[in-house]
Each structure stands twice: as C-alpha cells, then as structure tokens.
C-alpha cells in the first residue's frame, strides 16, 4: 500500500503538513494526491472508530450468513447490491465457503434486527437461508483494540 494511504488509514485526521514532512512532499502535493484518491474512489470516506459498548444507547449488531441462489446474468451481484441498499445493513461481503454473503446488520435492539431479517431479508427472492449471530462484545475493530492495554514502561534514556 502507498505510504500516504498507510498514514491516512492509521489517522485520517493527520494534517497535510505533517504528512508532507514524513513523505518528503509539499503540503500541496499531499492535498492533490488525496483529492486524486478520492476522485478515483480509492478513498471512499472517512469515519470515526467508535466503541459502541461505551455508549448509553447500545445498538445491537448481528453478523448474518446468507446462502444465495445466484441469478442468471447477474450471479451474486444483483442480490448483493439489492441487500446493500437497506440502511440497516452496514457491510456486505461475498465470501468463499459454506455460505455466500456475509452481512453486518445493526439496529436499535434485538427485535429490530430480527424483524429486518425475517421481514426484509429472508423473503428476498434467491435467498435460500440465513443464520444470524449477535455480537456480544467487541475486542478489536478496524485494527484498533477496544480495551486499554497495559503499557510496560521503557527506560526514559538508554544508550
């Protein structure tokens, strides 16, 4: 991966000036490279990584395995795109193995997610079966650990 993307993936709020100093570029060059990545759709957006367990209104998220009958002249894409349109669905992946699509679906509570599955998702044509797993606790998300880590203290000065 390009060094610029590595930096942004780690901290999307890093300033163009600080990025420029690390990469030996000018801040203008960094700005235009970022704009180019955005225009090409390599960078799709910027989000905060939120520890939902710390919020009072704890939303629920389920991982849903979906088995699909691929459609003529569309394979998995047609149904995957259709599922992606639901705002309840946070992510959709086509996967190898015992099932075909892996979804992350979230809602205000368990009932909301369950009824989305039974009323919106399962009735879709070409969906053969679903299996829902509700997330109980998140330990790591987008490469970030959700629990404070013990820091073993380094010496302050050493040769």
Partner 1 sequence: MKDLKSRPDTVARNVRNIPRSGIRDFFDIVSSMPDTISLGVGEPGFLTPWHIRDAAMFALEHGATSYTSNLGLQKLREGLSDYVERYFHVRYDPEDQILVTTGVSEGLDLAIRAIVDPGDEVLYHEPCYVSYGPVIRLSHGVPVAVETSPETQFQVTADLLRKKLTPRTRALVLNFPNNPTGAVIERGELEKIADLVIENDLLIISDEIYAELTYEGEHTSIASLPEMQERTLFLHGFSKAWAMTGFRLGYCCGPSRLIAAMTTIHQYTMLCAPTLSQVAGIEALKDPENDVERMRSEYRRHRNFVVHSFEEMGLPCVTPRGAFYAFPHVSNLGLTSKQFALRLLEEERVAVVPGEAFGPCGSGFVRCSYATGFEDLKEAMKRMKRFVQRLR
Query: Among residues 46 and 152, whose Cβ is nearest to partner 1?
Result: 152
Query: Among residues 21 and 35, whose Cβ is nearest to partner 1?
Result: 21
Say whether 104 sits in a helix, a strand or coil: strand
Say whether 119 sits in a helix, a strand or coil: helix
* Segment contacting partner 1 by CB under 8 A, of 2-10, 29-37, 114-122, 129-137: 2-10
Query: Among residues 4 and 92, whose Cβ is nearest to partner 1?
Result: 4
Residue 144 as a binder of partner 1 (CB under 8 A): the answer is no
* Segment contacting partner 1 by CB under 8 A, of 21-29, 62-70, 105-113, 122-130: 21-29
Of 9, 21, 70, 115, which one interacts with partner 1 (CB under 8 A)? Answer: 21
DSSP state of 135: -
Those residues whose C-beta lies under 8 Å from the C-beta of residue 95, and which sit 6 or more positions away, are 101, 102
Query: Among residues 22 and 71, whose Cβ is nearest to partner 1?
Result: 22
User: What span, in angstroms and rounded, lies between the C-alpha atoms of 124 and 1?
Assistant: 38
Say how far residue 80 (Cα) sits from the centre of its chain: 16
Number of residues that bind partner 1 (CB under 8 A): 15
* Segment contacting partner 1 by CB under 8 A, of 19-27, 48-56, 85-93, 106-114: 19-27
Supply the minimum distance, in Å, between the C-beta of residue 159 and partner 1.
5
Q: How many other C-beta atoms lie within 10 A of the C-beta of residue 62?
A: 21
Name 145's bridge partners.
140
At CA 85, angle to CA 99 and CA 82, rounded to 5? 50
Chain contacts with partner 1 (rule: CB under 8 A)? 3, 6-7, 11, 18, 21-24, 154-159
């Amino acid at each position: 991966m390009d060094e610029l993307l590595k930096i942004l993936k780690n901290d999307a709020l890093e300033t163009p000036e600080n990025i420029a100093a690390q990469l030996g570029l000018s801040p203008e060059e960094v700005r235009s490279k970022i704009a180019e990545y955005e225009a090409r759709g390599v960078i799709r957006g910027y989000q905060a990584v939120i520890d939902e367990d710390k919020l009072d209104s704890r939303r629920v998220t389920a991982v849903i395995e979906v088995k699909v009958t691929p459609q003529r002249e569309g394979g998995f894409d047609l149904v995957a795109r259709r599922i992606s349109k639901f705002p309840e669905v946070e992510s959709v992946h086509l996967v190898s193995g015992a099932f075909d699509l892996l979804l992350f679906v979230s809602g205000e509570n368990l009932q909301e997610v369950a009824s989305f599955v039974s009323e919106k998702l399962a009735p879709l044509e070409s969906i053969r079966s679903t299996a829902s797993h509700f997330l109980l606790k998140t330990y790591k998300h987008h490469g970030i650990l959700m629990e404070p880590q013990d820091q073993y203290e380094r010496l302050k000065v050493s040769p």
